[in-house]
Structure 1
Amino acid sequence: MTTQNPMPLFYRKPQILRFEEHKGLGLVAKNDFSFSSNATAIPLSVTEFMPAVRHYPIVFIDAGGSPAPVAIVGLKQGHNLMLEGDGSWAPHAYVPAYIRRYPFILVQAPNEDTRYLAYDSESGRVKPLAEAPDAAPIFNDDGTASKVVEPMLQLCEAYHQHRAQDTAFLKALTDTDILVARHVDMEFPDKTRYRLDGFSVIDPERYRNLPARTLKQWTEKGWTDAAALHLASAQNWGLLMERNRQVSANGKDALSRH
């Protein structure tokens, strides 16, 4: 479970939005997350640990040599358990910001500090207004973001800022060597077995044994809260198993963690 694809997860062909080129495009309103149907893990910012802890195991995967937090949404590769039959997200479950912002994303131009709003040009949610009269225009007549797109721009910017703020915490996890590799073994109703691996978690004993000075610094930075929420999220493997039972035609699964 690593992020080796140079293209961001779910995005196939991002293009920077430019008024002159894209003023005729509109956003189709859909509560459809079927683009994530093959995902077992969704990227998270540390600020999302609080809402995510109610629903998902929060673990860390390797992202170019650095740990990156993700929410586990599936037990078997290629099967997102949080999707309903119509593509909507499971009722009352937290929808990660990474998912909510799609098909938009911020991109940074080479040799520039400026970020630009882009969209996945292969997403079915962005269409020419001439072909989708019910779609909401992406641009106002003056070239500014429309009232539909402005919240998405704000969401993209907030997510970008939060992920940038995560860097120091994630580096501290590596520097203190408290992350350990884990895997989950499962048996499904048809008696097939599957192992979900490639992720790490904070080792509780190593965490407790951190020097008092380090823990004090972490507390001041709010990192002990993040660590506690991550550790508490381990209880949600059971919730995923229950969700699996609900969407399965059969009824008996078994899970063990090592």
Structure 2
Amino acid sequence: MATAAPANNLPLLYKDLMPLNSNEHGKYRTKTFDDAKFMEGHHAIPLTIDEFAQAGRHYPIIFSDSENPVPLVLMGMNEGVNTFMDADGKFTSPVYIPAYIRRYPFLLAKLSPESEELSLCFDPTSDGIGAYETGDTLFEDGKPTETTKNILKFCEDFETAGARTQSFVEEIKKLGLLMDGEVAIQQEGREQPFVYRGFKMIDEEKLREMRGDELRKINQNGLLPLLYAHLFSLQLMRDLFAAQVAQGKAPQVTEAPAA
């Protein structure tokens, strides 16, 4: 989950990337977002394993259907649907906000593919940073303020958690615990259920059938609680679908991928 080098394929939520520096951005300030409209159109957000316990109380946790699966929280069951936000981009109820969202508009990125060093960058299209009259200053006398140091620390911690998450995914792939996910949700008054595919999930049957020594190993290295946090969270898919229906956002097709 470490951020790739800035390129045309920018990370989710980011429309552009620029390295933060005192020469060009000496008068820049950062301010709290009034809304989260930068999330508009996104229903699945990356998650680190450090957040499974908290996030799993509010959202279903799935894995992307890709060569290198990434844990995701679902904020809606269909593309472009976010049941937790209103039309103004404000969260409608107190829920856990994933670190990926809280990090925006900043991130650590390589300035070139050859570089090993990560630099603090930001999305210049964001309303959260600019040459404003109010807000938290990022530089004083050409040096980073406490605000900038805290932002850098948060981004570094996120990258560290991302590395742990990559290791976790590699381990469960090695154990053969990931399977193609599918959930069928029957809506009252419809003959056919809505079938969601296009994601990965833990194979619960294979987990139950693991040898005692293997099970003991994944329990000792902390994997087992994470696997069950994911499995328990899947029960929220039906609640998420019901919220979509209540908001008039039910899909009009009988099959649609979750992510």
TM-score band (shorter)? 0.7 to 0.9
Residues in 1 aligned to 2:171 and 2:249: alpha-carbon distance in whole angstroms? 44
TM-score, length of structure 1 as denominator length: 0.84
Q: 2:128 is matched with which residue?
A: 125
For the aligned residue pairs, the C-alpha RMSD in angstroms reads 2.9
Aligned partner (choices 9, 18, 22) of residue 19 of structure 1? 22
SS in 1 for 2:65: strand
Residue identity opposite 2:19 in structure 1:
I
**Matched residues, number:** 245
Q: How far did residue 29 of structure 1 move? A: 2.1
d(CA) in 2 for partners of 1:154, 1:80: 29
Shift of 1:23: 0.9
* Cα contact 1:34–1:83 (8 A) shared by 2: no
User: When the two structures are superposed, what TM-score results if normalisation uses the length of structure 2?
Assistant: 0.84
Corresponding position: 1:158 with 2:163: no
SS class of match (1:105): strand
SS of residue in 1 equivalent to 2:62: strand
Higher strand proportion (structure 1 or 2)? 1
> Where does structure 1 lack aligned partners over 5 or more consecutive residues?
none
Partner of 1:237: 237
- Which segment is superposed worse, 148-157 or 102-111? 148-157
| Correspondence list, 1:1-258, <5 A | 6-63=9-66, 65-110=67-112, 111-129=114-132, 133-144=133-144, 146-185=145-184, 195-248=195-248
Larger mean CA deviation between 76-85 and 183-192 belongs to: 183-192
Q: What is the one-letter code of the residue matched to 1:106? A: L
State the identity as a percent: 27
List alignment gaps of at least 5 residues for structure 2: 1-7
Query: What secondary structure sits across from 1:50 in the alignment?
Result: helix
Tell me how far apart the structure 2 counterparts of residues 128 and 172 of structure 1 sit (CA, whole Å): 45
In the TM superposition, residue 198 of structure 1 has moved relative to its aligned partner by 1.4
Q: Within 2, Cα distance between the matches of 1:249 and 1:114? A: 44
Q: Give yes or no for contact 1:57–1:237 (8 Å, CA) kept in 2.
A: yes
Q: CA deviation at 1:124?
A: 2.2
What CA distance in whole angstroms lies between the structure 2 residues aligned with 1:249 and 1:229? 27
